Structure 1
Amino acid sequence: MPAGSTYKACGCRAPNGRAQGGKCPKLRRRGGSWSPTHGSWYYQFELPPNADGTRRNPIRRGGFTSQDAAEAQITRLHELLAISADPEDRTRIADLIVTTLRKEKRLPVPEEVRRKVRTGQDLDTAITTGQWLQTWFSGRKGLRSGTLRSYRTHITAHLEPVIGHVRLDRLRVADVQAVFDAIEERNELITRARASGDRADRERVKGARAVGPATMHRIRATLRAALNQAIRERRIDLNVASLIELPSGRRPKALVWTPERVREWRQTREAFIDSKDPTRSRGGRVKPMDAYVSTPRPSPVMVWTPEQTGAFLDRAARHRLHALYHLIAFRGLRRGEACGLRWADVDLDEGTVRVRWQITQIGGHTEQGRPKSEAGERQVTLDKHTTKQLTAHRARQNQERLAAGDSWHDTGFVFIQENGAPLAPMTVSEQFLLLAMEAGLPPVRLHDLRHGAATILLRAGHDLKVVQETLGLSSITIASDTYTSVLPDLARQSAEDAAAVILNARTGPEPDETAATGRVVRMSQASSR
């Protein structure tokens, strides 16, 4: 059984120049007790032999201010060697003790060693948080490329730069909080630079995007998932990412482009165009599309009224993708679902389309796959007008096929390029914005046509369950929180309906407004006297 002892020594030297160590007479008082001011305490400890059976040199460490401090080190050594009774484990622990003392001038932490012995890890290897995140990421199999891309961005852009160097088993709440503090600082830098009149400041943040609350929640979710895996492998005991509080990541509420909001937005756009903004082109004028998309909106999610949607479709009637925009506006398909729709899933006789595929834009390339959720795979019933639009679209597509001849790509998609090749969703969005601007309408995203479809369903008297099933939402909560906007006339009607409940329940006559006003005046005069 390894044993240890403590002793006191100093750095004094004898007249012959030799170190006196523990033999210095100043170490003890006249009565034989230890001097409280001279020398320092040391410990000596015998470790188990090496793996080949040879004896190790005893450990000698000093500089402690009290005998208790030196004895505490011996106690820790005993605790470390008691972690396992297996001779091989004890040899590995002894090796770790020697290595740690040499490299870090301290003893290993028993809790860390105990965890590594229990899970069969290398005792002398300390994995960093960055290394673990990469190990965890490499094990994500069978996920969509968009999901993998989000994980990779969260790790490389936000997590690794701040906590990548921290040992995984020493990651603390304060370390994780530092990740989101750095994000907030960067957001403030972007905001200040864009508000600055300095061209250089604006150039430095050109193309940079502030990280919103919802994205912060997703970054934390990535870290939390990686740390949960570390817990399952018994590398750590606590998921510190779960203890971080973040701003609410709720989806923004959609707002309708009322006349007042449109008027205010147009005034802001004119001020933007007239200002001496660094985004001006070399010709000295702001490009119309730049002003159109850059002018701030009342909400990130804006919805056209039915009248505005109709005006857009009138302008798009001459465009070859008119039927695509019509389908999204009327039936609420996602952009990728519309681009991925195939004629094999369209039944014009029955007036239905089956949503089974989507085309996703990932950076500069596209990817075909299934809808984002099980609820996304659905059958959507078409109205007669939409069926008519798709029938006309098929006829025009047949004409394009004949005109293209041998250069035609027979892909089977409903909405295609002029040579039959699949559409890139980004191109569809760009054409949408151009048509909306030409129609003189306030800007919305193409995805916001989907919000408008949900709102129009409500206006037609349908409930949230119909909205959920038509739009392919995974829960009715999403339909309620995100995809419904109350149109002004619908809000007014609900107010009138609520008032009617009370007014119809009254038994007495309607009070006379003039008489009521007179009573108020008389009461006021009486109180003044």
Structure 2
Amino acid sequence: MKRRTNGDGCVKKLPSGSHRWQITLGFDEHGRQILKSGTEKTKQDAERARVQALADHSRGLLPVPSQVKVGEWLSRWCALKRANLAPKTHANYQYVIDRHLIPLLGHKKLQDLKPSDVRAAYVHLADRGFSKSLLHQARVILRQALQEAVFDELVARNAAEVARLPSFKRSQTARALDTAEVTAFLRVASEHRLGRLFAFVLSTGLRRGEVCALRWVNVDLERGILRVRENVTVVHGKAVLGAPKTEAGVRDLHLASDTVALLREHRREHGVSPNGYVFTNARGERLYPDSLTKLAGKLAQRAKLGDVRFHDLRHTYASLMLARGVPMEVVSEKLGHSRPSTTADIYRHVFAEEHERHTLDLTELLTPVPLKIRSAAKRVEDVDADEPAA
């Protein structure tokens, strides 16, 4: 091993042929060296990595692990993640870190953090009445941030990886309107200048921000295709135009003939705004997402439907499509979900009519249904026939 003075570290060739570099960051409270190391394919690369690590350490970019606290690391991690997150997601992460995680865990050192500490933080948030959604977000942040600390060799394990969330009673906050409720809602909505917007959402399942961001340039009425390419989110009270929520959110939707007719009529009546948005406010400006939420609630109250969120119209679209037998995979793609399981878990609502349709008496359940089933022997023969010769 080639040694250097003044804590410069060393480079050592490994039996595999690669080279391992190592430097000393300092000493712990017991006088033991705190080391930082890595492996490179060549000696030249290892030397370069060693020198870079020393330079980073001298500039404070490679802190001594025992001195890094959870709050400091979370803030640093969130700042580095900013470039890879949507503005609203980053704002939510920063809020959860500043408001909840730092007050509960920020004072602890990274190396001292235990799964029981993380679990206690989750329980504290749950006991104070915070939602399951917030706890899930806190868990995602902690797991990602601490995993980054593992990769940087600041800690040996991810304390949030095995810390489980407390149990929650299953609650149904989302609502899907049935056909009679949809009819009542649209009857009231038709009296408003944005009435067609709500009919459009119930026909396409678009997100609130996707509707606000929709431009005529992305609507092909001749071919009946809508291209979802932009989304508006609200970050710290300000509407921000950006890409759709996920990669799967970038999608082309085929429009039904009555939806095409609705858009044609809307364009004839309102024309095309200077900025090209399909739906605008009375001044011809892009809609503010939160205003749609308030308007949906007011229209639902007038229709005597109780509390209805704008997002419930998206739930309604998904549930009505699935109730009509549209394959889950198709509905998932139309909604812009990455996985059909998301659609099934969140947006599937079973209507009373479906319960009635699938209620069978004992006689029906016991009546043999002729099924054509291949014998086990036949299946074995088929498998054997497909198997390659030994």
Separation in 2, partners of 1:451, 1:368: 24
Q: 1:95 to 1:498 in 2, by over 3 A?
A: closer
Distance 1:323 1:361 in 2: 23
- Does 2:98 align with 1:180? no
Match of 1:386?
Answer: 259
Contact 1:117 1:123 in 2 (8 A): no
Match of 1:316 in 2: 189
Check conservation: 2:230, 2:244, Cα contact below 8 A.
yes
Inter-CA distance 461–223: structure 2 relative to 1 (3 Å threshold): closer
Identify which of 310, 326, 329 aligns with 1:446. 310
Match of 1:88 in 2: 6
Q: 1:230 to 1:504 in 2, by over 3 A?
A: closer
What per-residue deviation string (whole Å, max 9, x for no partner) do you get for residues 161-209 of structure 1? 122121222222233233223313322xxxxxxxxxxxxxxxxxxxxxx
What does residue 10 of structure 1 align with? none
Alignment-mate amino acid for residue 319 of structure 2: T
Q: Report the Cα offset of residue 145 of structure 1.
A: 0.7
Q: 1:166 aligns with which of 95, 102, 108?
A: 108
Deviations for 1:235-274, whole angstroms, at most 9, x for unmatched residues?
A: 1111111121113689x67xxxxxxxxxxxxxxxxxxxxx
Q: Read off the aligned partner of 1:484 and give its amino acid letter.
A: R
Aligned match for 2:296, one of 426, 432, 448: 432
Question: Are 2:57 and 1:115 aligned?
Answer: no
Letter in 2 for 1:152: Q
Q: Output one character per residue of 1:391-430: Cα deviation in whole Å (capped at 9) or x when no partner.
A: 11112212xx7xxxxxxx6110100012211000110111
Other-structure match for 1:128: 69
Residue 334 (structure 1) aligned with residue 207 (structure 2) = yes
Checking the alignment, whether the CA contact within 8 Å between 1:131 and 1:164 is kept in structure 2 is yes
Letter in 1 for 2:217: A
What letter corresponds to residue 337 of structure 2 in structure 1? Answer: L
Report deviation, 1:505. 4.6
Equivalent residues of 1:354, 1:378 under 8 A apart: yes
In the alignment, which of 221, 224, 236 is matched to residue 140 of structure 2?
Answer: 221
The reply to whether residue 459 of structure 1 matches residue 323 of structure 2 is yes
**1:118-517 → structure 2 map (5 Å cutoff):** 121=62, 126-140=67-81, 141-187=83-129, 211-247=130-166, 299-398=172-271, 410-496=274-360, 500=364, 502-503=366-367, 505=369
1:89 Cα shift? Answer: 2.9
Distance 1:124 1:223 in 2: 17
Consecutive unaligned residues of structure 1, counting only runs of 5 or more, are: 1-83, 101-106, 188-210, 254-298, 402-408, 507-529
Q: How far apart, CA to CA, are the structure 2 residues paired with 1:443 and 1:227?
A: 40
Distance 1:501 1:382, change over 3 A: farther
2:263 counterpart SS class: helix
User: How far did residue 500 of structure 1 move?
Assistant: 4.6
Q: Is the 8 A contact 2:216 2:278 kept in 1?
A: yes
Give the whole-Å Cα distance in 1 for the aligned partners of 2:31 and 2:132.
37
- Counterpart AA for 1:132: W
Greater length-normalized contact order (CA 8 Å, ≥ 6 residues apart): 2
Structure 1 residue 496, shift from structure 2 partner: 4.4
Pick closer, same or farther for the CA change 1:311–1:223 going to 2, 3 Å.
same
Give the Cα separation in 2 of the matches to 1:330 and 1:95: 61
1:155–1:312 Cα change, 3 Å: same
TM-score, structure 1 length as denominator? 0.58
Q: Deviations over 1:131-166 (max 9, x none)?
A: 111221221123211111121012111111122121
Q: Alpha-carbon deviation of 1:116?
A: 5.0
Asked if structure 2 preserves the Cα contact closer than 8 Å seen for 1:230 and 1:236, the reply is: yes
| Distance in 2 (alpha carbons) for counterparts of 1:422 and 1:347 | 20
CA distance in 2, matches of 1:373, 1:155: 23
| Contact 1:213/1:247 (8 A) holds in 2 | no
List runs of 5+ in structure 2 lacking aligned partners. 10-22, 39-52, 55-61, 371-390
User: Could you say if the C-alpha distance between residues 498 and 153 of structure 1 is closer, same or farther in structure 2, counting changes exceeding 3 Å?
Assistant: farther
Give me the whole-angstrom Cα distance separating, in 2, the residues matched to 1:123 and 1:344. Answer: 54
AA matched with 1:365: K
Task: Specify whether residues 497 and 146 from structure 1 end up closer, same or farther in structure 2 by C-alpha distance, changes over 3 A only.
Answer: farther
What is the match of residue 63 of structure 1? none
Residues of 1 paired with 2:292 and 2:180: CA distance? Answer: 22
Change (3 A) 1:498 1:378: farther
TM-score under structure 2 normalisation? 0.77
Distance 1:504 1:238, change over 3 A: closer
Report Cα offsets for 1:350-404 as digits up to 9, x if no partner: 2221111111122321011111112211122222222222111112212xx7xxx
**Quick check: 2:71–2:105 contact (8 Å CA) kept in 1?**
yes
Deviation track 1:73-110 (CA, whole Å, cap 9, x = no partner) reads xxxxxxxxxxx96542399x99967xx8xxxxxx4263
CA distance in 2, matches of 1:484, 1:95: 54
Q: Which amino acid aligns with 1:334?
A: R
Equivalent position amino acid for 2:108 in 1: V
Distance 1:459 1:168, change over 3 A: closer
Aligned residues: 334
Q: What letter corresponds to residue 303 of structure 2 in structure 1?
A: A
Looking at structure 2, the residues matched to 347 and 153 of structure 1 have their Cα atoms a distance apart, in angstroms, of 40
What is the alpha-carbon root mean square deviation over aligned residues? 3.0
Residue aligning to 2:45: none
**1:353 and 1:381 in contact (8 A); partners too:** yes
Report percent identity of matched pairs: 31
